[in-house]
Amino acid sequence: MADPWQECMDLCVEVTRRAGEMIREALQKDIDVMQKSSPVDLVTETDQKVEQLIISSIKEKYPTHSFIGEESVSAGAPSILTDSPTWIIDPIDGTTNFVHNFPFVSVSIGFTVKKEIQFGIVYSCIEDKMYTARKGKGAFCNGIPIKVSGQEDINQSLLLTEVGFKSDPEQFKIMLANIKTILTIPVHGIRSPGSAAINMCLVACGSADAYYHMGIHCWDMAGGAAVVTEAGGVIMDISGGPFDLMSRRLIVASSRAIAERLVKEIIEFDVGRDDAD
Ligand code: IPD
């Protein structure tokens, strides 16, 4: 039987590439930066224009599909995942990087049906790396198959997480304490590239062995979750339970051993849910 969602995926790759071109062009001009929830939560006109381009191009072909887009949610749209075919969009994942011309900036789109991710596309547009993954069919970067490192020994691992002060001093303290705990296991190192979607792709292609984060959103996770899963990675909740797209937290790793060790070491804090009222 023909793959029912392949046509959607093909359109997704095409639209994502156009979005990436728009971002690269915007980088040649002055960038007008606005604040969202805090002085470190940034948005630009390009985030909004890119999201409009993506949603209008997809709606033209699939008018009955649902959308959860970072900038639409910021403007008041609901962030509820239903059984309907749903496009989960981050027009610029790594907006702070974009503002500073730091070269990890991506367009990330995940597509769910009955709440299950069917495919994910992450376009690291400055590096010109197009990561694609269709459920059950593997993960690719620019058409070449990718897979996780398979590393099982945490002492030999390079880990990724993101650091940033987001207004709650208690959470900030726990975040720093977690980093200290992990560095003293010891591991080879911790890096913070600044785009959740690219972080997952770095684990997917074996450049890093794990990534953990509390406080991101479904649009940061959906595209990369498909890529890392299809590349043979392990994905779970920070508590060790099943990964939940709306939970705002995750661990991805090259092996179950590393993921489970991180579960043991990391102290959790409450970040709420994307689908909370
Ligand atoms: C951000 C990036 C970053 C993470 C932030 C996210 P955005 O996404 O993924 O790595 O630390 O929590 O908000 O806002 O640039 O789409």
Strand order across the 158-160 sheet: 189-191, 158-160, 210-214, 249-253, 234-236
Q: Does one domain contain both 177 and 117?
A: no
Q: Does one domain contain both 57 and 101?
A: yes
List the beta bridge partners of residue 123.
Answer: 107, 130
Q: Which atom of ligand 1 is nearest to the CA of 197?
A: 9
What residue has token string 């033209």?
60
pLDDT band at 41 (very low <50, low <70, confident <90, very high): confident
Q: Does one domain contain both 214 and 110?
A: no
Question: Do 59 and 65 touch, CB atoms closer than 8 A?
Answer: yes
Closest CA to 245 of 81, 77, 55: 81
Q: Give the mean pLDDT of 29-34.
A: 89
Residue positions annotated with a catalytic role: 70, 90, 92-93, 95, 220
- What tens digit of pLDDT does each residue of 68-103 get? 999 999 999 999 999 999 999 999 999 999 999 999
pLDDT band at 2 (very low <50, low <70, confident <90, very high): confident
Q: Report if residue 72 sits inside a domain.
A: yes
The last residue of a domain, from among 124, 145, 166: 145
Q: From the CB of 145, is ligand 1 less than 6 Å away?
A: no
CA of 64 to the centre of ligand 1 (A): 29
Q: Report if residue 276 sits inside a domain.
A: no
Q: Does one domain contain both 18 and 57?
A: yes
- What tens digit of pLDDT does each residue of 192-251 get? 999 999 999 999 999 999 999 999 999 999 999 999 999 999 999 999 999 999 999 999
The last residue of a domain, from among 117, 145, 173: 145
What residue has token string 């920070």?
238
Q: Does one domain contain both 138 and 79?
A: yes
Q: Which atom of ligand 1 is nearest to the CA of 91?
A: 16
Question: Do 269 and 177 touch, CB atoms closer than 8 A?
Answer: no
Q: Does one domain contain both 99 and 186?
A: no
Q: Does one domain contain both 140 and 189?
A: no
Q: By residue range, what is the domain housing residue 160?
A: 154-265
CA of 3 to the centre of ligand 1 (A): 32
Average pLDDT, the chain: 96
The last residue of a domain, from among 89, 124, 145: 145
Q: Does one domain contain both 78 and 161?
A: no
Distance in angstroms (rounded) separating the CA atoms of residues 222 and 163: 20
Q: What is the CATH number of the domain that holds 43?
A: 3.30.540.10
Q: Which atom of ligand 1 is nearest to the CA of 90?
A: 16
ipTM rounded to 2 decimals: 0.96
Chain-centroid distance of CA 220 in Å reads 3
Q: From the CB of 164, is ligand 1 less than 6 Å away?
A: yes
DSSP characters over the chain = ---TTHHHHHHHHHHHHHHHHHHHHHTTS---EEESSSTT-EEEHHHHHHHHHHHHHHHHH-TT-EEEEHHHHHTT------SS-EEEEEEEE-HHHHHHT-S--EEEEEEEETTEEEEEEEEETTTTEEEEEETTS-EEETTEE--------GGG-EEE------S-HHHHHHHHHHHHHHHTTT-SEEE--S-HHHHHHHHHTTS-SEEEEES--HHHHHHHHHHHHHTT-EEE-TTSSB--TTSSEEEEESSHHHHHHHHHHPPP-----TT--
Distance in angstroms (rounded) separating the CA atoms of residues 244 and 237: 7
Q: Give the mean pLDDT of 132-154.
A: 98
* Total tally of structural domains belonging to the chain: 2
Q: In the prediction, which pLDDT does 82 show?
A: 97
